[in-house]
Amino acid sequence: MTADTINAADTRINARWVIPMEPFGTVLEHQAVILHGSRIAAVMPQAEADRTYRTKETIDLGQHVVLPGLINLHGHTAMSLFRGLADDLPLMTWLNDHIWPAEGRFVSESFVADGSKLAMAEMLRTGTTTFSDMYFFPEVTAQVAHDTGMRAQICFPLMDMPTAWGSGPEEYLRKGADLIEQWQGDDYIIPAIGPHAPYTVSDQPLTAALELSRETGAALQIHLHETAFEVQESLKATGKRPVTRLAELGLLGANTQCVHMTQIDDSDLHQLSGSGAHIVHCPESNLKLASGLCPVQTLKDQGLNITIGTDGAASNNDLDLFGELKTAAMIGKVIADDAAALSAHQALAMATLNGARALGMEHELGSLVPGKLADLIAVDLSDPFLQPVYDPASHLVYSNHGRAVTHSWIHGIPQLQDGRLTRIDMPDLMLRVSEWRNQILS
Ligand SMILES: CSC[C@H]1O[C@@H](n2cnc3c(O)ncnc32)[C@H](O)[C@@H]1O
Ligand SMILES: [Zn+2]
């Protein structure tokens, strides 16, 4: 018998269950996850880890399931300060009569700093370790995410209309190019381009956005086919459905993330399939604004990569991605008229590996595989509302709330320990949020 080699590493996490996401559908029991620096060193049975690893610290998580950190692929983080401000409205009334006027009055650097931090606190508490943002003052959100240690795709906004961040497309693109230059290659921040929607961005800036994407490799994220009204208005104005218009401009490619996609006909499917474009499903925002339902199974059957997002807290009204997964799985079954559609493991894949793929980071994120970045979470299944446990994946999607998340690590650094955030000063943040509430109310 040969003696085992002893390896040194930083952290050992003992957990009752591990769902590594690769191979698909795997649930491991009594595992040790070993972290070293910013990466996963090993996932192995605890008995084997006893023989082969010596770590600086060991964290015993008895009845927990450990899985990759969740990836929220679409949101407007600073809008958390508008949570509950304008409910029960359809998209265009919500935007034109409530949200855009409110943004005109309140959005500033400090609004974005405080609002995005509030969103990050909620996301971290509920299991999200990577998010995508599309909002004004993206340089502020990028800095807050970086200082907090969250991984984020930061899409600078692009619209025809002037806002507090810029006078029009030229300025948005100039500032956006600076943002890309500043953050490209950063460990945490992935700069990207956020043309708002086909109805707010004309052809010329869309083409300029595509050029910038091709020059820099930055992804494009756009609200697309969110409502039937959007498609009808586009047909009236251009004679084309928005997907056709974008395809003709060259915007539907492997570096494009299409958010919402609730209105899909055969011509859209034809244009999307094979384009390599990614779909960002936002079921709760689509339900709340009565925008429509994304036919996830049909898109999936065409080979499209389906990811998930919450949208902003002003249209959701929370950023709990576990809740979003439950909603996605439930409505996915009804839309497909098939209870087997969107299983718990498929739902988890949307928030992990598929999200990583859309970010072009499938070799770095989205599964607990040695060598990948150490972005992971632990969920405590010992609570009565999660008992008994036959299948932890089932509980994560069908019974869980993000509230059961107790630990997270991003880039190997602890972000949440026993339910407490390590890098956000919550009392200070709560004070600022209440000041914003008073200001917005008055
Ligand atoms: C260009 S910055 C983002 C811009 O988008 C607005 N917004 C928030 N949610 C939605 C949505 O579901 N569809 C379209 N636009 C949305 C937000 O208020 C900002 O103005
Ligand atoms: Zn949105």
Quick: pLDDT tens for 303-337.
Answer: 999 999 999 999 999 999 999 999 999 999 999 99
What is the CATH number assigned to the segment(s) 70-359?
3.20.20.140
Cα angle, residue 386 at apex, residues 382 and 387 outer, rounded to 5°: 75
Q: Is 135 in the pocket of ligand 1 (CB under 6 A)?
A: yes
ipTM: 0.99
Looking at ligand 1, which residue's alpha carbon is closest to its atom 16? Answer: 95
- Give the mean model confidence (pLDDT) for residues 95-111: 98
Q: How sure is the predictor about 204, in pLDDT bands with cuts at 50, 70 and 90?
A: very high
* This model's pTM is above 0.95: yes
Q: Is 285 in the pocket of ligand 1 (CB under 6 A)?
A: yes
pLDDT value of position 2: 66
Q: Is 311 in the pocket of ligand 1 (CB under 6 A)?
A: yes
Q: Residue 153 in contact with residue 190, Cβ under 8 Å?
A: yes
Q: From ligand 1's centre to the CA of 75, what distance in Å? A: 9
Looking at ligand 1, which residue's alpha carbon is closest to its atom 20? Answer: 100
pLDDT of residue 1 exceeding 70 = no
pLDDT of residue 68 exceeding 80 = yes
Burial code (b: 16+ CB inside 10 Å, e: under 16) for 85-124 equals bbeebebeebbeebbeebbeebbeeebbbbbbbbbbbbbb
pLDDT value of position 168: 98
What is the CATH number assigned to the segment(s) 7-68+367-411?
2.30.40.10
Answer yes or no: same fold for 7-68+367-411 and 70-359: no
Q: What are phi and psi of 194, to 5 degrees?
A: -120, 70
State the angle between helix axes of 203-216 and 169-183 in degrees (0 to 180), rounded to the nearest 10: 10
In the chain, the percentage of residues whose pLDDT exceeds 70 is 100
Quick: pLDDT tens for 131-156.
Answer: 999 999 999 999 999 999 999 999 99
* Residue ranges per structural domain of the chain: 7-68+367-411, 70-359
Whole-number Cα distances in Å, 374 to 171, 260, 431: 37, 30, 32
Nearest atom, ligand 1, residue 135 CA: 2
Q: What is the mean pLDDT of the chain?
A: 97
Quick: pLDDT tens for 168-189.
Answer: 999 999 999 999 999 999 999 9
- Give the mean model confidence (pLDDT) for residues 39-52: 98
Q: Could you say which ligand is closest to the alpha carbon of residue 291?
A: 1
Q: Which of 196, 201, 324 to mutate to test the pocket of ligand 1 (most atoms within 8 A of CB)?
A: 196
